[in-house]
Amino acid sequence: MRNKGKFDQSKKDQPKGKKRSHPHQKFEKKQKGDPLPSFSENVRLNKFIANAGICSRREADVLIESGVIEVNGKVITEMGYKVKPTDEVKYDGATINTESKRYVLLNKPKDFITTMDDPQGRKTVLHLVNNACKERIYPVGRLDRNTTGLLLFTNDGDMAKRLTHPRYEVRKIYHVELDRPISREHVAELLKGVTLDDEDFVKADAAEIIAETGSREVGIELHSGKNRVVRRMFEAIGFKVKRLDRVQFAGLTKKDLPRGKWRHLTEKEISFLKMV
């Protein structure tokens, strides 16, 4: 009989172009770079232009020097100029709009790596969400290649920082399958805390055996964002992780989200994350 606690989870589960010589000639639109700030702070004008997808920062400097960028109706040619949240920025008379914020939740399958690009040509998580929205989105945190489960993508830089910063103690729950049966004594070790291979000390916020005696399955909750932390915690008490699935992240769950599929967050979910 399976334990019906909170850990019980269903198993269904380009290179840059050359600089243009004519200052008024349009630049080729490139893929968006780092997410635009939420405008809780001022940002350099060249970064604002680059993140809006107009061109690179270096090319943005050329545009600024050539006098085709206006801020609040005034031509700006000063390098290092910063724009405020309320400023209107125009390029050749057209307003540059900050992109809409997007929040996409993926149920990651195995064999996909969490990176924007891989020189070795391996499959990345970006391949799975490339048609989710026109804005360029980024993964919040990481899951290693063999780990499955919830991975959030967004272009909201402020939210991404909050969700990954240790100070906010964002909770994650994992379903772990081990190489051999685990005892209650081992679970108690995880709750008390273990020393990892790099001498860091980490403890689980909660942990329990998912089924009866002889089970190799454990549910573990923690807020640490250290690299491969779950696998390393079990290694510290003598176990190898055979399967690892993140079933909850910052209150988000895999309900109605099959493996390899994604969905946009609801307004209610977005509001909740902004309060984290």
- For position 15, what pLDDT does the model report? 41
144 is catalytic: yes
Where along the chain do the CATH 3.30.70.580 domains lie? Answer: 100-168+255-276
Region 114-121: what's the mean pLDDT?
86
Please tell me the distance from the alpha carbon of residue 230 to that of residue 214, in angstroms, as a whole number: 21
pLDDT, one tens digit per residue, over 58-71 is 899 999 999 999 99
Where along the chain do the CATH 3.30.2350.10 domains lie? Answer: 171-249
Report domain 100-168+255-276's class.
Answer: alpha beta
Which range among 1-5, 26-30, 109-113, 175-179 shows the weakest confidence by mean pLDDT? 26-30
State yes or no: pLDDT of 225 exceeds 80. Answer: yes
Where along the chain do the CATH 3.10.290.10 domains lie? Answer: 43-95
**CB neighbourhood size of 130 (10 A):** 11
Strand stretches in the chain, DSSP E: 43-44, 69-71, 74-75, 82-83, 89-91, 94-95, 103-108, 138-139, 147-154, 172-178, 194-195, 201-202, 206-209, 217-222, 241-249, 252-253, 262-264
Please tell me which residue, 96 or 152, carries the higher pLDDT value.
Answer: 152
For the chain, helix, strand, coil in percent to 5 are 20, 25, 55
- For position 40, what pLDDT does the model report? 46
> 171-249 falls under which CATH superfamily?
Pseudouridine synthase (3.30.2350.10)
Nearest to residue 218, comparing CAs of 239, 193, 200, 201? 239
pLDDT, one tens digit per residue, over 64-105 is 999 999 999 999 999 999 998 788 899 988 888 766 789 999
Which H or E element spans position 84? none
pLDDT, one tens digit per residue, over 142-151 is 999 999 999 9
Report domain 43-95's class.
Answer: alpha beta
Give the model's confidence band at 53: pLDDT under 50 very low, under 70 low, under 90 confident, else very high.
low
State yes or no: pLDDT of 34 exceeds 50. Answer: no
Give the model's confidence band at 126: pLDDT under 50 very low, under 70 low, under 90 confident, else very high.
very high
Residues 6+ apart with CB under 8 A from 228: 144
Of residues 92, 118, 144, 200, which has the active-site annotation? 144
State yes or no: pLDDT of 27 exceeds 80. Answer: no
pTM (predicted TM-score): 0.69
